[in-house]
Every structure is written in structure tokens, then in C-alpha cells.
Amino acid sequence: MDVHFINPVIASLLNVLSTMAHLEPTYGSPKIKEKNDVVHGKNLTGLMSMVGKQATASIALTFTEAAILHIARKMLPGEFSRIDGVVIDLAGELANMALGGAKGDLEKEGFLFQLSLPTIIVGSDYLIAHRTKAPIIMLPFFMPEGDFFVEASYEET
């Protein structure tokens, strides 16, 4: 994994959460995801791809139910006690903003990408299937109220 790709994604995600939700999550050490690793417990994932002439990438943001409900309460008016349509929409928008920001940074370095629309997965104990043969890096993020993680793969074309 090229850090020139993953670093803008991490920076952009942290910027989104800081700017719009006033949250400052910490993050742990990255690890390689095994292809058949299932996401345990109730979660919500925004999965997007970035396709360019030089490379393609697949990125997933996966929030535990506690994490996405906390983010929703920080960003939106009202109380959120379960994953509903607004929370699902919010997860897609977070993925969109994080990847949109990373795309802008990568463009400054000469990497041009097209972003897909986010695909949202909601459920318990599911597999996130990235359309790539490249290794997938998993990076965990921590908040007192709940955790989330990013999966990213990057493949030069």
C-alpha cells in the first residue's frame, strides 16, 4: 500500500469528523485484512471505489452502531437511538466527503480519479467484498463512544 494514497484518506476522514462533528478520534496500527474476515456485531459500511488511469482503489468506512449514532447526534439535530434512513444517508455522505477530500489532495499530486457513489451495507456479521486482488489494509479508529475502521486497497493499473 502506497502511503501517498492512504495518508490523504486518513487526513480527509479526520478533517470531516473534526469540522462537522467536532470529534477527534485516535487511530491504531494498520494491519492486513484477511480476505474472508467478517465484520462482527451490528455495523454500517460505506463502500466506494476510485478509478483512475494510474490506479484503482477501494475504500470502506465501517462504523459500529454506537459510533455512527454518536456521530449522528454530534452532527444532526434530534436524538438517534437506532440506525434509520437518516443515519444510513449520513454514513454515505461521510464516505463521500472523506473520499472527495482525498481525491482533491491526490489530484494535486497528479493522480486523477473518478469516485463511485457509495454503496451502503447495514447488518450484523457481514463480509465487505472489495473488487481487488491487491492487499487490503485495515486501520482502526477509536472514540470513547464507539469505534470504526477504514479498509483500503490500492492497485496500480
Partner 1 sequence: MAKAVLIVDDSGAIRMMVSCTLESAGYEVIEAADGQEGLDKAKARTVDLVLTDQNMPRMDGFAMIKNLRAMPAYKTVPVLMLTTECGDAMKAQGKAAGATGWLVKPFDPQKLLEMAKRMIR
Counting contacts by CB under 8 A, is residue 32 touching partner 1? no
Binder to partner 1 among 4, 38, 54, 107 (CB under 8 A)?
107
Residue 96 backbone dihedrals phi, psi, to 5 degrees: -60, -45
Which stretch in 28-36, 56-64, 88-96, 142-150 sits in contact with partner 1 by CB under 8 A?
88-96
Residue-by-residue DSSP string for 128-152: ---S-SS--EEEEEEETTEEEEEEE
Counting contacts by CB under 8 A, is residue 76 touching partner 1? yes
Binder to partner 1 among 93, 105, 145, 155 (CB under 8 A)?
93
Number of residues binding to partner 1, judged by CB under 8 A: 24
Binder to partner 1 among 96, 116, 119, 132 (CB under 8 A)?
96
Provide, rounded to whole angstroms, the least separation between the CB of residue 56 and partner 1: 18
CB distance 5 to 99 below 8 Å: no
Counting contacts by CB under 8 A, is residue 70 touching partner 1? no
* Residue showing cell 482502526: 140
Q: Could you tell me the end-to-end alpha-carbon distance of the chain, in angstroms, rounded to an integer?
A: 14
Exposure string over 112-135, b if 16+ CB within 10 A, otherwise e: ebebeebeebeeeeeebebeeebe
Provide, rounded to whole angstroms, the least separation between the CB of residue 100 and partner 1: 3
Counting contacts by CB under 8 A, is residue 92 touching partner 1? yes
Per DSSP (E only), the strands in 20-136 are: 26-27, 31-32, 38-52, 55-64, 113-115, 119-127
Which residues contribute to the site for partner 1 (CB under 8 A)? 15-16, 19-20, 72, 75-77, 85-87, 89-90, 92-93, 96-97, 99-101, 103-104, 107, 115
